[in-house]
Chains A and B, each alone.
Chain A
Amino acid sequence: MNGVNVYGCMARFDSAESLRGAALQLRHAGYVRLEAYSPFAVEGLAEALGPTRSRLPLLVLLGGLFGGIGTLALQYYSAVIDYPIDVGGRPAASWPAFIPAALEMTILCAVLAGVVGMLLGNGLPQLYHPVFNVARFAQASRDGFFLVIRADDPHYNDARQALLDLAPLSVDEVPA
């Protein structure tokens, strides 16, 4: 088999547990280009595929800080520096009154940062992906648990056998 127009090799498992188990075994067997697909978030599956670390929380924090401090700065600039004007005898820099808008903007910007971060991190939107070429894969969003060894894995040559050893429901080759 040539790896040129092949994305990888896909096996389907019957449950989240067996998928996670299979992933761990392949890791121990030295496979590094692994992908696992499940109809819901399976605890520990991502970790089983390899080391993960998420920068999402930091991103959200930065977004929030930007929103909050930015709004306060804007308010101070507009009300004190750019166009100070007497409103009801209140001081130009009415800090307590500046807080509410800043609070709302903090949350809004944090959320926006989070959502954008998640999508970019996951490389979404990505309407085409080779795994969709496998008919069975449609079950991944229902009750199918799939494990893929990508063709660029150093040990890819015996990937098919390794998958079959894990007693999957089925094994397919994923055309690129």
Chain B
Amino acid sequence: MSANTPEANIAMQALRQRMAGAQGPRFWRALEELADDAHWRETLHVALPQLVALAPMDRRRFLKLLGASLALAGLAACSSPPQEQMVPWLRQPEGMAADSARFYASALACAGDVCGVLVETHMGRPTKIEGNPAHPASLGGSAPALQAAVLELWDPDRSQTPLHHGMPATWDDLFAELARLSRGDGRGLRVLSGAIVSPTLAAQRDALLQKFPAARWHQYEAAGQGQTLAGTASAFGTPLQPIYHFDQAQRILALDADFLGSMPGRLAYARAFARQRKPPQMNRLYAVEPTPSLTGAMADHCWPMSHDGVGAYARQLAGVLGVGGVGDANVDDPSLRAVADDLRAHKGRSLVLAGETQPRPVHALAHLLNQALGNIGHTVDYIAPMQAAAPDDSLASLCKAMDAGDVQTLLVLDANPAYDAPADLPFARALPKVPQRIHLGLYRDETARLCDWHLPMAHALESWSDLRAWDGTASIVQPLIEPLYAGRSAHQLLAAMLGQPMDIRALLQSRWHAGDDEGWSRSLREGVIADSATAPTNPSAVAASVPASTTSPSGELELLFRPDPTLWDGRYANNGWLQELPKPLSQLTWGNAALISPALAAERKLVNGDVVELRVGERHLRAPVWIMPGQAARSITVHLGHGRRHAGHVGDGVGFDANALRSHRAPWREGDLQLHATGERIELAATQHHHAMEGRAPVRAGTLAEYLHNARFLQPDEPATPPSLYPPKPPGEYAWGMAIDLNACIGCKGCTIACQAENNIPVVGEDQVRRGREMHWIRVDRYYEGSAQAPHTHHQPVPCMHCEHAPCEVVCPVGATVHDAEGLNLQVYNRCVGTRFCSNNCPYKVRRFNFLQYADVKTESLKAQRNPDVSVRNRGVMEKCTYCIQRIQTAHIAADRDGRAIADGEIVTACQAACPTQAITFGNIADPHSAVSKAKASPLDYTLLAELNTRPRTSYGAHLRNPNPALEDDA
């Protein structure tokens, strides 16, 4: 349908005028009006005579054609990027020709944790997020929440227009109200926000408080950094942000500190930590924790103990190491002494760190221990924190004020206390007492529904901002697309209140690069503002006395709260990718559970899914239990972020809301827990049901000592691959292969969700996962070895093995899965008839079948999110990992255009790119010098089920531990 005739252009002009300003749904609504406007149809028929042929035409048909013709006529549709302002990323990642996809550097924040990202856009549509190699908090790796941000952007449940008492309104109406407010000194004005990590927002906050001296600004994070800062405060007298250097640390003691899973800067920490675990050099990690974490799973020695036990342990250790006059020096616990000796033997190269969930004294002890071990300045630095909220500006004080009726206007900026406030803070109850309640957020969530004003917030990928990472490094957040809906950023709202200009971009440039366009565009290109990291200010400890940490009577049950590994505090509850991503250790999806120890399960005769009542004082809730090997015997863990009431179609009512048991004084731990079985049982949606290796050794594991004694100690005596009857293939130029280093894999599942984003993998929902129909192309298996009380954990990412003698291919009657010349095991979707024999015959069970129509082909915005280089699969066809063949082909095209060979490392698969520890290597195994060939040459390299002679192209590096020889407990 060509629309290049002059009439067409006239019509398009007219249409542009009519459609001007219409965005998102309003855009389409406007189209529908047109569909009914007879005169307009006239004009258009002149413009596009093809349409006349189709008359009489029903609305649907008309709209479809109209849409098509508009697109062809290049009408500015709702998803065009603000090109003139954006600056593409300096270095296109390897394998990505600029014309197929454009990359822009930006940054994303979650609860005060900031990470630099590269956003991949296709024709102006953000489709994929990668880590920014130039950003210290990412180094190229990315976490699930970062990957999923792109789905959040296109989430059809996002709120789209300002609402006043639930009725559509305009921003102007709101500004009118705010104008009335801005007379006076702001008495009764309160602002509530999350952790502020944007310097510009902080500046706007200060400006606001200056303009309205009587106003107050509160910050609340359900899972923030309060304890950490308080800990440094009590150790050094002033709150400081610790920055750890795992690349320097040879001996690490993690006191309930999940630096691989939930600590700010975890991606960088994971990278540095994994770097130190390449045999023959390996660091040694000790972990003591009440509930299993990714860190504990990687530890060479992990001792489960109660929440208070961790504190006691730190105290004893401090005693043994003679720190700060706490505890007594003569503890007769051999393992603790061994740890102490090991740490002492590595002064300056050891590291002790305490987790956010531990109380202040433990943090203080950790800092004192580091000082005593001479680690400060070597393995740990301290910097001034980005955001320090004075305690009297907490949510508690806000609630008190609201209750007392001192609050006239409450402005909630992208926070949801009505859901995530602890149960002992009556926020939701007190909120109605506030006359004027304004909420700015991505969703019309629990808090929004209690406010008379709800304002759609522009997504981080739609707006300008700046963010500081945990080490102080600042980045510019640039919009990759004009707001899909009538959203505005918090900056814009505050600017309106302050009477500042609405041009946030100008604001940012004047702040960071006033009058320096070159520097400005460099910062945009790089995604990092040069030399913005905060310089360390290492103090000398002043805290002589460490406040005594409480110890609860043994035998009583304790309840631990943790942010959800994927949903965090619930802000991502409506994100299908994150809901369906198996939780790193429990492998649970779609909901949370009360994690209990095997011992407690045996004592109370509980099995997975048994619903129990958890009671703390008069607060109580019902939760299904999940038996967690490695859980401390008397500790029960519940995750926040579930049981949302108004998250959206995806997140509503999934799991239970643990905030109901939480109190703001002890946010991470409640003692004196009562647990009663209710006799009910529900089936939890787990993706892995069997956790022992049954002597089949899918994961080969050993110790560093064994390795040093004989590097090939894990290789079988007979040749790995049996002989074959079939003629060997003539070697081609390229032979793609993958090596996965189990020694580096921390089991974060970043690969799984990166693959989901890259390959348009559908979300199937809770019921289908229960039936075992999840679609992830790369899963991360988790096996336990040893005792259920303190098991050794092994993670194993399992993509397609791309077997050279692929059993799946032989049994396909229609040749829908075959081999290509470069050794890829191809799946030809549109040839597949769905016999599923290939899956039955796949010993690795990596194939996924569309048992129903899983791909959502109806929702417009989700279509926009998809990767145009990967076809969307419909029901009845098999699918599986392709080694990201679209990236391989892009590289081929680029190489052919330049008439060169594909360079090593030019192709980066989605899982490889996302992996924070670079556990995955991909490349050409026909080239002996390629990184993957070198990895496969390692004496630790092995293939899964080699005895079946399937000859996989994917191989694994065995998992090594580095236990302390002085500890025979599980060495």
Contact = CB atoms under 8 A, between A and B. Distances in A.
Q: Do chains A and B make direct contact within the complex (CB under 8 angstroms)?
A: yes
Interface of A: 85-91
B727 interface: yes
A88 B809 contact: yes
B810 interface: yes
B724 A89 contact: yes
Nearest to A83: B815
B449 interface: no
19 contacts: A85-B815, A85-B818, A86-B729, A86-B818, A86-B821, A87-B809, A87-B810, A87-B818, A87-B819, A88-B805, A88-B807, A88-B809, A88-B819, A89-B724, A89-B726, A89-B804, A89-B806, A89-B951, A91-B726
A89 B809 CA distance: 9
Contacts of A89: 724, 726, 729, 804-806, 819, 951
B820 interface: yes
A85 B828 CA distance: 13
A91 B724 CA distance: 12
Contacts of B951: 89
B818 A90 contact: no
A90 B820 contact: no
Nearest to A89: B805
Contact of A86 (B807, B808, B820): B820
B531 to A, nearest CB: 54
Interface string B825-855: 0000000000000000000000000000000
Contacts of A86: 729, 818-821
B815 A90 contact: no
Give the dominant DSSP class at B's interface. Answer: loop
B818 A91 contact: no
Interface string B789-821: 000000000000001111111101001001111
Q: Which 9 A-B pairs have the closest CB atoms?
A: A86-B819, A88-B810, A88-B809, A89-B805, A87-B809, A88-B806, A85-B818, A89-B726, A89-B804
B726 A90 contact: yes
Contacts of A88: 803, 805-810, 819
Contacts of B809: 87-88
A90 B803 CA distance: 12
Contacts of A91: 726-727
Nearest to A79: B815
A87 B729 contact: no
Given A85-B815, A85-B818, A90 B810 contact: yes
A137 B532 CA distance: 113
Contacts of A85: 815, 818-819
Give the dominant DSSP class at A's interface. Answer: loop
A20 B818 CA distance: 67
A77 B105 CA distance: 54
A87 B838 CA distance: 12
Interface string B225-238: 00000000000000
A85 B818 CA distance: 7
Interface in B386-428: none
B340 to A, nearest CB: 57
B846 to A, nearest CB: 16
Interface string B105-140: 000000000000000000000000000000000000
Contacts of B803: 88
B843 to A, nearest CB: 13
Nearest to B811: A88
Given A88-B803, A88-B810, 17 more contacts: A85-B819, A86-B729, A86-B818, A86-B819, A87-B810, A87-B812, A87-B819, A88-B805, A88-B808, A88-B819, A89-B804, A89-B805, A89-B819, A89-B951, A90-B726, A91-B726, A91-B727
A87 B809 CA distance: 6
Nearest to B728: A89
B758 to A, nearest CB: 26
A87 B820 CA distance: 9
A146 to B, nearest CB: 54
A90 B950 CA distance: 12
Contacts of B819: 85-89
B216 to A, nearest CB: 70
Nearest to A87: B809
Interface string B491-502: 000000000000
A80 to B, nearest CB: 14
A89 B821 CA distance: 11
A64 to B, nearest CB: 25
A88 B815 CA distance: 11
Nearest to A85: B818
Contacts of A90: 726, 810
A89 B815 CA distance: 13
A29 to B, nearest CB: 65
Contacts of B818: 85-87
Residue of B807, B819, B820 most packed against chain A (CB within 10 A)? B819
B470 to A, nearest CB: 50
Contacts of B805: 88-89
Contacts of B810: 87-88, 90
Interface in B720-778: 724, 726-727, 729
Residue of A86, A90, A91 most packed against chain B (CB within 10 A)? A86
A85 B815 CA distance: 9
Contacts of B804: 89
A3 to B, nearest CB: 64
A86 B724 CA distance: 16
A86 B804 CA distance: 10
A90 B806 CA distance: 10
B735 to A, nearest CB: 13
Nearest to B810: A88
A91 to B, nearest CB: 6
B428 to A, nearest CB: 61
Nearest to B812: A87
Contacts of B815: 85, 87
A89 B820 CA distance: 10
Contacts of B727: 91
A76 B297 CA distance: 55
Nearest to B729: A89
Contacts of B806: 88-89
A91 B805 CA distance: 11
Contacts of B808: 88
A96 to B, nearest CB: 10
A89 B806 CA distance: 7
B232 to A, nearest CB: 60
A88 B809 CA distance: 5
Contacts of B821: 86
Contacts of B820: 86
Contacts of B812: 87
A150 B729 CA distance: 74
B936 to A, nearest CB: 19
Nearest to B805: A89
A14 B819 CA distance: 74
Nearest to B808: A88
Contacts of B726: 89-91
A33 B820 CA distance: 71
A124 to B, nearest CB: 38
